Structures are given as C-alpha cells and as structure tokens.
C-alpha cells in the first residue's frame, strides 16, 4: 500500500514537470485549460484592481490631507507667533515714543521740577472729571499742582481731597465744576490777543468754555487761535498749552464773548502724565477752586 502511494506521487511529479516544460516551450499553441485559467485570472484581476486602486487613492488622499493639515497648523502657530511679536514690537515703539515725548517735555519746563506719573485708576462714572495717578506726597506732590500729558498739554490739577502718600486724584479740565477755573492767554498768528478764563466744559461740543476778558476789537479772537496758561494765578505755570479756539459767540447777556476751546490733550485717553511742581509758593486766586 505504501509503495502504491509512493508510485502515484512520483507519477504526479513527472506529469507536473512535463506540463511545466510543455508550457514553457516557444511557438506552441495555448491549450483550452490554460486559456480558461488565464481568462479567469484576468477577469478577477480586473474586478479587484479598480476598487483596490480606488481605495488606495482614498488612503493616499487622506494621508495627503493629514500632512497638509499638520503643515497648516505649523504655519498657523508661526503666524500667531509673528503676530504676537509684531504686537509687542508696536507696543514697545509706542512706549518708546511716549517716553521720548515725556523727556522732550521735561526739557521744555526747565523752571519747574517735573514729576513723571502713571494713571492707575479711572472711574467710568467720573471719566471726564477725575483720574488717579501713582504719585503722592511722598514724591512731593501737592495741592493744585498742574498736570500735563507727555506733550506738555494741560490736563488738570491735583485735588486736595484725593491727595495721599503714594497716590493723587487729578481734577481734569473737562470737569464741569464751575470752580474749576484756569487763567489763560490767547495768541494768534500776529501775536497776543488778550486774556481769558476757563470756566467750564461743554459736554455736547466737548470743548472748554472760556470767558474772554476785556476783549479788544482790534485783536478779535478767532477760530484757530492758541490758548495757553497765563501763569497769573500763581499756580499753573505760564505757557502750558490748553487748546485751540473752535468758535466764538456772545454770552447769554450779550455783555462779553465766550470762546469754545478744543483741549490740546486727549482727555479721554491718558496713560502717562507729568505733575509740574513749582518752586515758588502758590497764591490763592479765583483761578483755582477747591
């Protein structure tokens, strides 16, 4: 029995080798079994090849999409970093300009001892009337000292009621308190045009209200004239810019004229300010109110 199996196995091997050799022979015709097997294999190859290519293409597209997404994320992070860098650079430029302006103003008020300060608080309910700065009596800040912005434009004065060791309250020019007065002088292109007195603030026009004192018809105050502190009150130094005349009209009684003055300082946006310390003793006058 084992011999028969061995003989059968040898016969099969001989037949297989003979078929292989026959199939490799050049110039012969293909038999129908070979054709059947080849056609069947081709059909199955065509059936499975197209879906295989389709799914392979999908996976390649997914892989490309993933790579594109990762690359976009890297670029977005770089862009965000660049934007933050540019923002910081611009902030430094603005701060540098502000400090340069402060230094320029310090040099322009040689007769006074400037105290640099920063606005640290501002109540929304008193936005146009008061600010709080980070300097007080320890830095020799005193009542009624003038306060300017970094360009030397007057913004207000120190309030006695808000004066502490390390902080001070500043009463702004735009405070509608009628006791908030400033003695001024008016200048045009051809020289002095007299004096005035800041007596209030027009909230609708957002201008200071200035009473023109002893108006001279030959030196009529007009739109565009410059208004500065006169220094006659003994508190505000002379020559601090107040603003520019935008309109002139008679008062309610027609006895004198009122000028509307646009403040030179941006009262709405204040960050760094300068307290102007005078070496001379202050003199009480109607120019300042308590």
pLDDT for residue 8: 72
For residues 186 and 260, membership in a common domain is answered with yes
For residues 136 and 187, membership in a common domain is answered with no
For residues 101 and 117, membership in a common domain is answered with no
- Note down the domain range covering 227: 182-264
| Domain annotation covers residue 46 | no
For residues 143 and 213, membership in a common domain is answered with no
Over the stretch 15-73, which tens digit does the pLDDT of each residue have?
666 665 555 555 555 555 555 555 555 555 555 555 655 555 666 667 677 777 777 77
- Please state, as a whole number, how many other Cβ atoms lie within 10 Å of the Cβ of residue 278: 18
Q: Strand 168-172 and strand 154-163: pairing?
A: antiparallel
| Domain annotation covers residue 23 | no
For residues 166 and 209, membership in a common domain is answered with no
Classified as helix, coil or strand, 13 is helix
| Domain annotation covers residue 271 | no
Domain CATH for 221: 2.40.10.350
Number of structural domains, the chain? 3
Final residue in a domain of this structure, among 125, 154, 172: 172
Q: Concatenated DSSP letters for 122-153?
A: --GGGTTTEEEES--GGGT--TT-EEEETTSB
pTM, entire model: 0.62
Give CA–CA dist 243/207, Å, rounded. 9
Over the stretch 93-150, which tens digit does the pLDDT of each residue have?
777 677 666 666 665 565 677 899 999 999 888 898 999 999 999 999 999 999 999 8
Final residue in a domain of this structure, among 77, 93, 108: 108
Specify which residues 184 forms β-bridges with: 196, 229
For residues 222 and 196, membership in a common domain is answered with yes
Domain CATH for 141: 2.40.10.340
| Domain annotation covers residue 28 | no
| Domain annotation covers residue 243 | yes
Give CA–CA dist 25/42, Å, rounded. 22
Q: Which H helix or E strand runs over 79?
A: helix 32-108
| Domain annotation covers residue 275 | no
| Domain annotation covers residue 191 | yes
For residues 125 and 186, membership in a common domain is answered with no
């Amino acid at each position: 029995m084992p011999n028969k199996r061995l003989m059968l196995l040898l016969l099969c091997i001989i037949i297989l080798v003979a078929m292989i050799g026959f199939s490799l022979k050049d110039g012969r015709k293909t038999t129908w079994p070979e054709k059947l097997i080849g056609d069947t294999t081709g059909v199955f190859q065509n059936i499975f090849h197209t879906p295989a290519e389709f799914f392979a293409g999908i996976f390649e597209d997914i892989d490309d999409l993933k790579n594109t997404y990762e690359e976009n994320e890297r670029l977005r992070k770089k862009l965000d970093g660049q934007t933050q860098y540019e923002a910081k650079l611009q902030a430094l430029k603005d701060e540098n300009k502000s400090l340069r302006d402060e230094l320029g103003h310090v040099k322009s008020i040689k007769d006074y001892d400037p105290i640099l300060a920063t606005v640290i608080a501002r109540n929304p309910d008193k936005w146009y009337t008061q600010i709080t700065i980070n300097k007080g009596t320890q830095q020799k800040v005193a009542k009624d000292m003038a306060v300017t912005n970094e360009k030397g434009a007057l913004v207000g004065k120190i309030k006695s009621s808000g004066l502490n060791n390390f902080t001070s309250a500043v009463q702004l020019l735009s405070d509608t308190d009628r006791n908030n007065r400033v003695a001024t002088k008016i200048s045009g292109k051809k020289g002095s045009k007299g004096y005035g007195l800041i007596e209030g603030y027009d909230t609708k026009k957002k201008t200071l209200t200035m009473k023109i004192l002893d108006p001279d018809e030959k030196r009529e105050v007009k739109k565009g004239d410059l208004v500065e502190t006169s220094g006659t009150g003994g508190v505000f130094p002379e020559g601090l810019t107040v603003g520019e005349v935008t309109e002139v009209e008679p008062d309610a009684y027609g006895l004198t004229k009122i000028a509307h003055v646009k403040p030179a300082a941006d009262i709405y946006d204040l960050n760094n300010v300068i307290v102007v310390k005078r070496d001379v003793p202050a003199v009480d006058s109607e120019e300042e109110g308590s």
